[in-house]
């Protein structure tokens, strides 16, 4: 049973298992990625229903560029087609979209489409939907240090005055609260360079369910598990 008063405000998801899902069915990896979009649509709807305020999904890591060229091209096309097809639904459901990651290495048309969606959905308030695209947490933290270093060199900031807030304010996730709950599908038990700074006190949940199979009942099971946790934040 879900307790409405104890819903995580921010859920982050490592959507893993599209390729394995497709392989089990003797389908192409592309088919697995398409099926993954269906699961994401369902989880967005449930997040709105539950009153979750922020949903952040790991869509493409900075390391994923090492995959076969054909798969990368397909993913770029899928990202482009998906945002164009889903924008109307995001508006209807009051979802605000935000792209989190390094935009410089992404195809211009993909960045343009997502930035247009960011602008159009900027006033929506029912759910903040953050897509981590070309995202790598180590690089994100390194970039933040470089920005702070420039401020120190220009005497805008003193080294001894650097605070946790200063670093947080220079991450891709600036103004987004840290996740309360991190879910990873597919049975892997690792973080894969995702939100390393932000999940210091997040509750972690791992499931063997492959992402395209992760539906309402699996999300509800995960939320129920979250509600059993005792979050102490270092306190007794």
Catalytic residue among 16, 18, 134, 180: 16
Catalytic residue among 45, 64, 143, 170: 64
| Positions of E strands within the chain | 10-14, 54-61, 95-100, 127-135, 181-184, 203-206
Q: Which token pair is 143?
A: 């970039």
Contact present, 43 and 15 (Cβ < 8 Å): no
Contact present, 136 and 102 (Cβ < 8 Å): yes
SS3 readout for 156-169: CCCHHHCCHHHHHC
> Position of tokens 């894969």?
192
Q: Which token pair is 229?
A: 């946790």
Contact present, 192 and 22 (Cβ < 8 Å): no
Contact present, 181 and 219 (Cβ < 8 Å): no
The Cα–Cα gap between 151 and 113 comes to: 32
* Catalytic residue status for 64: yes
Contact present, 206 and 221 (Cβ < 8 Å): no
Tally Cβ neighbours within 10 Å of residue 40.
Answer: 21
Tally Cβ neighbours within 10 Å of residue 73.
Answer: 11
Q: Which token pair is 10?
A: 């921010």
* Catalytic residue status for 16: yes
User: Which residues participate in catalysis according to the annotation?
Assistant: 16, 64
């Amino acid at each position: 049973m879900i307790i409405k008063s104890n819903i995580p405000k921010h859920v982050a998801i490592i959507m893993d298992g599209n390729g394995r899902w497709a392989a089990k069915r003797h389908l192409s990896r592309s088919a697995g990625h398409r099926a993954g979009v269906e699961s994401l649509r369902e989880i967005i709807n449930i997040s709105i229903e539950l009153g979750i305020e922020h949903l952040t999904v790991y869509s493409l890591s900075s390391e994923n560029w090492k995959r076969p060229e054909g798969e990368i091209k397909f993913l770029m096309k899928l990202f482009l087609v998906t945002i164009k097809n889903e924008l109307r639904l995001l508006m209807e459901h009051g979802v605000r979209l935000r792209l989190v990651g390094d935009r410089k290495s992404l195809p211009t048309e993909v960045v343009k489409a997502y930035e247009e969606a960011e602008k159009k959905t900027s006033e929506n308030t029912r759910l903040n939907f953050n897509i981590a695209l070309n995202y790598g947490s180590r690089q994100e933290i390194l970039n933040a240090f470089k920005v702070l270093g420039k401020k120190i060199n220009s005497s805008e900031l003193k080294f001894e005055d650097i605070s946790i807030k200063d670093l947080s304010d220079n991450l891709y996730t600036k103004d987004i609260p840290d996740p309360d709950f991190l879910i990873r599908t597919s049975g892997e038990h690792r973080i894969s360079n995702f939100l390393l700074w932000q999940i210091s006190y997040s509750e972690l949940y791992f499931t063997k369910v492959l992402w395209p199979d992760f539906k309402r009942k699996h999300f509800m099971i995960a939320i129920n598990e979250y509600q059993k946790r005792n979050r102490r934040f270092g306190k007794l």
